[in-house]
Structure 1
Amino acid sequence: MKSNYPEIQGGGSLILAWQVRNKKVLVVGGGEVAAGRIVNVLNADAKVTVVCPHSGLNDEVFFRVANKQVEHVDRKFQPSDLDGVDMVLTAVDDPEASSQIYKLCHEKRIPANIADVPPECDFYFGSVHRDGPLQIMVSTNGNGPKLANIVRRQIADTLPHNIGLAVQRVGMLRKKLRKVAPNIAEGPKRMQWMSKVCEQWTLDELCDMTEEDMEMLLEYYSPGLVPSFETVRLQEPDGAYDGPFLI
């Protein structure tokens, strides 16, 4: 039976923005793949421990260790390394050892990613474009990491150069709005009003929005209006609202 509902396409992954701030992440291995994993989790403000003999550290991982960006355990993996860990990433050239680590993680209910072994991954790393607070991930669900990288670059090339700054400014406005209208019941109205701002102001205007502009703009929240960027800039310093300025 046909419907207007989205068609289900099995075989995908649930792509989420996983908050790992201050979570304990264990990285087993110290080569090029491990270096990439370390960057990913450090960018997410995780607390990282690398287990790898010193001789196995490549230049980048050695740099992270030397600059105390990560903790380093100078030996091979031991089961006790999993104590108190929230996530495990393995990147070693030893399939048997990697599988054993995955089994231990499974027993302890610790999410793990075993590099280059999709069946033994609770989650995958996609190819990520980063511009300030904006992150865009492309995943092939383990089928073609290099192709994901190519697609990600093509997407990034089509984005406006100032999209990251626009997102940052919108985030600042959203935080201010929550202080103006903190009541939970205001949630739907807040979302609708923020949507209007994002739709009616251009990216350049969002980027140029100052804190003074934000304070002025927020005065139009109560009546549910969104004035033009020019209207906000033309208002007197006291910002008195004196009528609707719908776009």
Structure 2
Amino acid sequence: MGGATFPEIEGGGSLILAWQVKNKKVLVVGGGEVAAGRILNLLNADAKVTLISPRDGLNPEVAYRVDHEQVEYHDKKFEPSDLDDPAITMVLTAIDDPEASSRVWKLCKEKRIAANIADVPPECDFYFGSVHRDGPLQIMVSTNGNGPKMANIVRRRIAATLPPNIGAAITKVGALRKKLRVLAPGDEQGPKRMKWMTKVCVQWTLEDLCEMSEQDMDDLLQSFGPDVVPSLEELKLGETPGQWQFDGSFGWACVI
């Protein structure tokens, strides 16, 4: 490899992923404050939540979710047979009984179901971090179970440095990407789409992206073929490849 250098391995971390649980069944055991936070995270991710907890153990927020039928609710204590449903993809427990929590953990291991046992890091296949949310933007800070409060402090510090309009800008970028896929479909166009979108994100400011209208998007897409990125001001003034005429292959263009 000659003089090549590579990153040093730093063990002890977690593989941080964005787990897609949309329309997937997740079982939550317990109905207290911790369960309330877990349920909110799951519902924000469009999961199908099944909750098992005696009614007298529900905190006000969890009771609200139950009363408004935002979760499938079973007013009882957990039983091993509750894990027999093959549709369950994940189990979260948030109960005050350590022995009962460990029993759930062992049952999940037997059935190969990913589980998180609140406040017991060794009995977790994954951890919940402190999350900042702004529209489509999500930033998670994890301490790998060492200090949840510190994760919250770090997350707040990071969030304070972000522009207030970054979520709206990302939403506009997502809409532009969808339009681009319609304009230039196919895997063969993939590399060019990625490079062109990168140029847009680098050359345009967050304010430009937020201000971009549907018409601006359509006008901007006219420059995909010749692989240029005009500024928003140029689009507004009509001073850009306006316009460009394509032969349909995105291989060349001429200016009129």
Normalising by structure 1, we get a TM-score of: 0.95
Query: After the TM superposition, which residues 118-157 of structure 1 pair with which residues of structure 2 at under 5 Å, given as runs?
Result: 118-157=121-160
Match of 2:108 in 1: 105
Q: Secondary structure at the match of 2:127?
A: coil
Q: Secondary structure at the match of 2:244?
A: coil
Amino acid at match of 1:50: L
What does the per-residue CA deviation read over 1:182-223, in whole Å, with 9 as the maximum and x for residues that have no partner?
110111111110000000000000000011100100110011
Query: After the TM superposition, which residues 38-117 of structure 1 pair with which residues of structure 2 at under 5 Å, given as runs?
Result: 38-82=39-83, 83=85, 84-117=87-120
Deviation at 1:3, TM superposition (A): 4.2
Residue-pair matches, total: 244
What does the per-residue CA deviation read over 1:70-95, in whole Å, with 9 as the maximum and x for residues that have no partner?
11100000112111311100000111
Match of 2:235 in 1: 232
Amino acid at match of 1:71: E
> Compared with structure 1, are the counterparts of its residues 244 and 16 closer, same or farther at alpha carbon in structure 2 (3 Å cutoff)?
farther
CA distance in 2, matches of 1:2, 1:98: 51
Match of 1:216 in 2: 219
Amino acid at match of 2:237: L
Q: Is the 8 A contact 1:25 1:48 kept in 2?
A: yes
Deviation at 1:2, TM superposition (A): 7.4
Amino acid at match of 1:40: N
Deviation at 1:131, TM superposition (A): 0.2
Q: Which runs of 4+ in 1 moved over 6 A?
A: 242-245
Over aligned residues, Cα RMSD in angstroms?
1.8
Q: Secondary structure at the match of 2:88?
A: coil
Q: Answer with 126-135 or 96-105: which moved more.
A: 96-105
Q: Is the 8 A contact 1:51 1:74 kept in 2?
A: yes
CA distance in 2, matches of 1:219, 1:113: 49
Q: Is the 8 A contact 1:25 1:88 kept in 2?
A: yes
> Compared with structure 1, are the counterparts of its residues 75 and 165 closer, same or farther at alpha carbon in structure 2 (3 Å cutoff)?
same
Query: After the TM superposition, which residues 10-21 of structure 1 pair with which residues of structure 2 at under 5 Å, given as runs?
Result: 10-21=11-22
What does the per-residue CA deviation read over 1:8-67, in whole Å, with 9 as the maximum and x for residues that have no partner?
111111111111000001000000000000000000000001100001001110000001
CA distance in 2, matches of 1:214, 1:160: 22
Deviation at 1:168, TM superposition (A): 0.3
Q: Is the 8 A contact 1:227 1:244 kept in 2?
A: no
CA distance in 1, matches of 2:124, 2:254: 55
Amino acid at match of 2:142: S
Match of 2:171 in 1: 168
Q: Secondary structure at the match of 1:171?
A: helix
Normalising by structure 2, we get a TM-score of: 0.92
Identical aligned residues as a percent: 69
Q: Which runs of 5+ in 1 are unaligned?
A: none
